[in-house]
Amino acid sequence: MTTYVRVDEDLFGRMGLKFVVTPDGQALELLPGQLAEPGADVISHVGEPRFQVRMSTPVLTDADVPDVLGLALRRVADRLFGVMPDGTEDPDASGIVEGVMGPAAHDGGLLLSLDTDGFGFNPPMLETMTRIFVEELEPLAIPVELCAASWVTDEIPPAWRSTADRLDG
């Protein structure tokens, strides 16, 4: 059980685009971050994983992020490349993740957006990715919430810069 990292219990359900049929037969498209209502039938679950890490105060600039948290999220990004389609993590192999954008300040939190080259994601992959976040963030003793990022346009926010990065340039 984690003390400092709270993971959205509906993380998989909020991830990606969902095409659903409601109990009354209405067809809907739900955007990332949205959750299908109870009783709805999820017909298709597509897209690529996008995570958001929220602190107790909104992240508006790079300076709002403790360096230890931003650096830990860079380690998370590095480890995500080793996640395999079956949910195992192999740091010596190239998994399904081809690119990780972020961490970047976006929408009050820190965004990590993954490129799986159209493969998408599945529950075992997402469980492993979540475990990686928890393993890297829990030791920091900084209360955070891990959730699915809401819809993001194709515009990629600039990557987070540490205090040292900001002072150098």
Neighbour order of strands in the sheet with 5-7: 5-7, 144-148, 50-55, 109-115, 99-106
Strand partners for 157: none
pTM over 0.85: yes
Cα separation, 30 vs 17, in Å, equals 6
Model confidence over 7-17: pLDDT tens digits?
999 999 999 88
pLDDT digits (tens, 9 = 90+) for 14-70: 998 899 999 999 999 998 889 999 999 999 888 889 999 999 999 999 999 999 999
Question: Phi and psi (nearest 5°) for 29?
Answer: -110, 125
Contact 7, 130 (CB under 8 A): yes
Q: Sketch the domain layout of the chain as residue ranges.
A: 5-13+47-168
